[in-house]
Amino acid sequence: MAREIRAGTVLIKDDALLPEELRFESEPYVEGWKVVTDLDGNQLDRAVEKAGWSYFCLAGEVKTTVFGIDSQSMIHRAIERVLARRKSDGFNSMEITQVASVGSGRFPLVRYITLSAQWRHIQEIFFLDCGTNLSRAPRKNVLASERTISRGEAALSQDRPTILAP
pLDDT tens track for 46-69: 999 999 999 888 878 899 999 998
Are 54 and 47 contacting, i.e. CB atoms less than 8 angstroms apart?
no
For the whole model, what pTM was predicted?
A: 0.69
Q: What is the phi/psi pair of residue 75, to 5°?
A: -65, -40
Characterise 132 by phi-psi region: left (phi > 0), alpha (psi -120 to 50), beta (else).
beta
- Neighbouring-strand partners of residue 103: 111
Longest distance between any two alpha carbons in the chain, whole Å: 68
Q: What would the mean pLDDT of 72-91 be, rounded to a whole number?
A: 85
Alpha helices in the chain (DSSP H): 41-50, 71-84
Torsion angle (degrees, nearest 10) of CA 49, 51, 52, 54: -50
Most confident of 49-58, 80-89, 148-157: 49-58
Characterise 60 by phi-psi region: left (phi > 0), alpha (psi -120 to 50), beta (else).
left
Percent of the chain with pLDDT over 70: 71
pLDDT, tens digit, 9 for 90 and up, residues 98-138? 999 888 778 788 889 999 999 999 988 765 554 444 433 33
